[in-house]
């Protein structure tokens, strides 16, 4: 079935002829599910959506690190597929996990960088749940413990 406005096709849906049959396009439901992220696991349109393995892995990482915000972050990542190809999103998800900087903002920046063919500009202070390295300031006294040139 096609929905046309003027000369432009604005929607295309496969027709179902059987009684009680449904065809869902998961992308059509993500905006609604984002408003009620608790419905993510029960939403019928998403039940048989075969997403790449990276999405399952990033979901587990989000659940471990972000608590209650995890579902909304995952839905926002999935919503990027409304605009960009699934392969681009999947590659960005895998890149984010490799960098250890998971989350919607990271994935979005990686997607934009990939599409625009430029380096990603990641602002890591926006990710307080990432492990941080602390390096103390070196003082002149610290160098006193080093062996002298004559001792070597």
- Domain membership of residue 122 (yes or no) is yes
Burial zone of 24 (CB within 10 Å; 0-12 exposed, 13-18 middle, 19+ buried): middle
pLDDT in tens, 121-141: 776 666 565 566 677 888 888
Averaged pLDDT score across all residues of the chain: 83
Q: Which residue range is the domain that position 107 belongs to? A: 26-129
pLDDT in tens, 47-64: 888 899 999 999 888 888
Total structural domains within the chain: 1
Burial zone of 119 (CB within 10 Å; 0-12 exposed, 13-18 middle, 19+ buried): exposed
Residue scoring higher pLDDT (26 or 87): 87
12-32 mean pLDDT: 77
- Domain membership of residue 82 (yes or no) is yes
Q: What is the largest CA-CA distance in the chain?
A: 92
CA 54, 55, 58, 59 dihedral sign is negative
pTM of the entire predicted model: 0.69
């Amino acid at each position: 079935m096609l929905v046309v406005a003027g000369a432009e096709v604005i929607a295309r849906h496969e027709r179902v002829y059987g009684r009680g049959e449904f065809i869902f396009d998961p992308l059509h439901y993500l905006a609604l599910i984002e408003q009620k992220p608790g419905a993510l696991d029960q939403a019928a349109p998403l039940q048989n959506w075969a997403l790449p393995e990276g999405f399952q892995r990033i979901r587990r990482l989000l659940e471990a690190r972000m608590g209650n915000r995890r579902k909304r972050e995952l839905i926002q990542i999935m919503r990027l597929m409304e605009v960009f190809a699934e392969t681009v999103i999947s590659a960005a998800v895998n890149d984010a996990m490799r960098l250890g900087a998971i989350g919607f903002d990271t994935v979005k920046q990686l997607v934009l960088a990939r599409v625009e063919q430029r380096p990603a500009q990641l602002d890591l202070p926006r990710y307080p749940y990432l492990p941080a390295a602390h390096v103390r300031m070196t003082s002149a006294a610290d160098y006193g413990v080093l062996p002298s040139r004559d001792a070597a």
